Amino acid sequence: MKSLKFVLILLGVLILISACGRATQTPAPPVSTRPEEAGGVSGQTDRDLALKGFKDGGCGACHIIPGVPGAAGTLGPDLSAIGQTAQETVLSSTYTGQAKTAADFLRESISKPDAYIAADCGGKACQKGLMPANLAETLGDAELDAIVSYMLALPAQENAASGVTATPQSTLQAGNAPELSQADFDWAKQTYFERCAGCHGTLRMGATGPALTPDVTQPMGTLALAAIIFNGTTGGMPDWGKQGLLTQEQTEIMAKFLQQEPPTPPEYSLAQMKETWKVLVPPAERPTQPQTQRDWQNYFIVTLRDAGQVAIIDGDTHEIVNTVNSGYAVHITRMSATGRYAYVIGRDGKLALIDLWMEKPDVVAQVQVCYDARSVEVSKYNGEKGNFEDKYAIVGCYWPPHFVFLDGQTLEPFKIVSTRSYTYDTEEYHPEPRVASILASHFKPEWIVNIKETGLVWIVDYSDPNNPTIKMIEAERFLHDGGLDSTKRYFLVAANQSNKIAVIDLLEEKLVAKVETDAIPHPGRGANWIDPEFGPVWSTSHLGDGAIVSIGTDPENHPDHVWKVVRTTPLPGDGSLFIKTHPDSKWIWVDMTLNTDPVLARTICVVAKAQPDAVHKCWQVADYGRAVHFEYNKQGTQVWVSVWGDASKPGQTGEIVIYDDATLKEVARIPNLVTPTGKFNVYNTVYDIY
């Protein structure tokens, strides 16, 4: 444990050191940067000691440190010239600590990490609290002196006399994977699947999060990896330790696991799927008309993530009509074309079919089609080529990387299509191209299937589902989530690690644009509205930047603005997951769910469509948890927001807060829900209203 503390101290030190030069505002005595004067030491032995400290601490995971093998991280400040900038920092008017010399500044940064927060960490604001403040005592004096001395002498080429020179990269010792007991390995494998695979990939090749293959993780080392897992990053990596979901020991086990070769999980056949397939109520025994007096089209299917359930809630009365078991860590729900059926997909690839016409809606069929899934969609087309309403469903899997066609009424799986293929740009084989969002075209019997890692949008014709034709459109790597424009002709999908939105014309079936956005766009399905200056736009918020970006979507009447970013609306923070509006609303709603500041994480904002340059209002929806995801009721008059709490904390497990959309006033709370996340109104989901 001491070793972990060490790295956290060190990370904190380095994070807090500003690499930014600032103008001196007040006269101050000259500050020495010479190691001897600073109380540090120089020479080969101490350089080796410093390098050992940097290596043991895994400082290179977060910082660029010249001469330190593998030190190319960007979570913390670039330390290339820290010997110079430390001096400028203590003299600057923005410095908030007590140090008078550069060396004292470095030591202070270790012993009191919050004394001063550097401004620039890899182009972003530095993160407060990346390391605990009470860890200085675990760092030995000699090592501390050596590290301080080393940093004071940077940039090395200007301090050659000090004996500090850059170490050639060839001396990098990647090291071997640390030992891990079988029990720890098995636990970490399962934990990785549950918490990490979604962003980093089952084979750890990276997508929403960076690659975590041994060539990347071994040079970072156990301590640095554990620190990042414990503390999270501003780039959207959750702070698993701080949230109390992993202990420090567990983060170390995870860090060791990440340095092993990733285990390849097994395949999954149609025969295996069929073994799990159950029709609980056959179609012939189901109601022929709605059995309820309620307006079932105004039901909300609410994900209760950690309960492995969904709640069916009446949008008029706010009563819970039923709570049913679905899959593990339930992810999303989509409705059949008529709205009568809800299809709920769990992360474990379990699909549940709920009949909303029953007096008490319940699961009528279920099946597991893979080990790891995120998306489900239905056949919606009704036209010249036939009526496919409520006929088929499709599930998109992360592992094995495939999608599966199922009978829409019984969930009998009947066709598997593998997505293993080649990247659209470099034409390299990828063993794990995962299925991200899937969307049903309103114009043709087609599903738009987004293949994350290869960057291809597959247009899958389901009119002859045993012999499907697939058009593969080159788009952008790391496709994730997206939605339709207001005419439903164009599909806008976030290539989130590429910071782009790809636009697909569903009529002509071609890519029409790739639009550069801010960092890590994450639209959910996005928000369509009329900008007072630029006409129809579709908006996304971002995980990596505090901003809403709006893109013109009207080629007919606003050709000058089409497929261009026409407006950027700043938000108080980053970490946003979802944005939502309704054609009748004057607002755009946005969350900041994954912001590292707990207050911002439970704060939501609205932007007025009439004055979209700035947010109109922001407020906390609860005093615990995270605010996540919005959904309108069928009438478009109320907005539901989830408070994503902690399943193990009675009273704080989560709730839904309902606001009047016209006044922004709270109208109701549905309390004591277990970790509610996504909410899907039947009517709005069927008609793609957002």
Please identify which residue in 78, 453, 461, 481 interacts with ligand DHE, judged by CB under 6 A. Answer: 481
Minimum CB distance to ligand DHE smaller for 448 or for 615: 448
121 is an active site residue: no
Q: What CA–CA distance (Å, rounded) separates 464 from 425?
A: 30
| The pair of three-digit structure tokens given for residue 47, joined into one six-digit string | 């350089």
Sign of the alpha-carbon torsion through 652, 655, 661, 662 = negative
User: Which range in 63-71, 75-83, 246-254, 329-337 contacts ligand DHE by CB under 6 A?
Assistant: 329-337
Sign of the alpha-carbon torsion through 249, 255, 256, 257 = positive
237 is an active site residue: yes
Element (H, E) at 221: helix 214-231
Please identify which residue in 241, 524, 544, 552 interacts with ligand DHE, judged by CB under 6 A. Answer: 524
Q: What CA–CA distance (Å, rounded) separates 220 from 671?
A: 43
Nearest Cα neighbor of 363 from 318, 333, 395 is 333
CB closest to ligand DHE, residue no: 198
Sign of the alpha-carbon torsion through 331, 333, 334, 336 = positive
User: Which range in 101-109, 135-143, 324-332, 527-535 contacts ligand DHE by CB under 6 A?
Assistant: 324-332
Angle at CA of residue 293, ends 292 and 295, nearest 5°? 95
In sequence order, the β-bridge partners of residue 394 are 377, 405
208 binds ligand DHE (CB under 6 A): yes
Helix (H, G, I), strand (E, B) or coil at 470: strand
Please identify which residue in 678, 682, 683, 689 interacts with ligand DHE, judged by CB under 6 A. Answer: 678
344 binds ligand DHE (CB under 6 A): no
Please identify which residue in 204, 380, 391, 525 interacts with ligand DHE, judged by CB under 6 A. Answer: 525
CB of 480 to ligand DHE, least distance (A): 5
What binding mask, one character per residue, do residues 567-586 give for ligand DHE by CB under 6 A, x or -?
----------x---------
126 is an active site residue: no
Helix (H, G, I), strand (E, B) or coil at 660: strand
Cβ distance 455 to 475 under 8 Å? yes
In sequence order, the β-bridge partners of residue 438 are 449
20 is an active site residue: no
What binding mask, one character per residue, do residues 64-103 give for ligand DHE by CB under 6 A, x or -?
----------------------------------------
User: Which range in 33-41, 114-122, 227-235, 326-334 contacts ligand DHE by CB under 6 A?
Assistant: 326-334
CB of 375 to ligand DHE, least distance (A): 3
Q: What CA–CA distance (Å, rounded) separates 356 from 338?
A: 11
CB of 680 to ligand DHE, least distance (A): 7
332 binds ligand DHE (CB under 6 A): yes
Please identify which residue in 107, 391, 477, 629 interacts with ligand DHE, judged by CB under 6 A. Answer: 629
Which among 63, 442, 480, 561 is annotated as catalytic? 480
- 133-160 b/e with 16+ CB inside 10 Å = b? eebbeebeeebbbbbbbbbbbbbbeebe
541 binds ligand DHE (CB under 6 A): no
Cβ contacts of 618 within 8 Å, gap of 6 or more: 572, 603, 604, 605, 606
Cβ contacts of 170 within 8 Å, gap of 6 or more: none
539 binds ligand DHE (CB under 6 A): no
375 binds ligand DHE (CB under 6 A): yes
CB of 378 to ligand DHE, least distance (A): 11
199 is an active site residue: yes
Which among 237, 254, 358, 397 is annotated as catalytic? 237
| The pair of three-digit structure tokens given for residue 208, joined into one six-digit string | 């929403």
Which among 196, 358, 397, 605 is annotated as catalytic? 196
245 binds ligand DHE (CB under 6 A): no
Minimum CB distance to ligand DHE smaller for 233 or for 677: 677
DSSP 297: G
Residue 328, amino acid: Y
Q: What CA–CA distance (Å, rounded) separates 119 from 685?
A: 43
In sequence order, the β-bridge partners of residue 64 are 72
Nearest Cα neighbor of 676 from 689, 652, 664 is 652
Please identify which residue in 58, 70, 198, 573 interacts with ligand DHE, judged by CB under 6 A. Answer: 198
374 binds ligand DHE (CB under 6 A): yes
Which among 63, 200, 582, 629 is annotated as catalytic? 200
Minimum CB distance to ligand DHE smaller for 151 or for 307: 307
Q: How many CA atoms lie within 13 A of 337 on its CB side?
A: 20
Q: Looking only at residues 395 through 454 of this chain, which bind ligand DHE when binding is defined by CB under 6 A?
A: 436-438
Q: Give catalytic residues, as residue numbers.
A: 196, 199-200, 237, 480, 522
Residues that bind ligand DHE (CB under 6 A): 198-199, 208, 305, 329, 331-332, 374-375, 436-438, 480-481, 524-525, 577, 628-629, 677-678
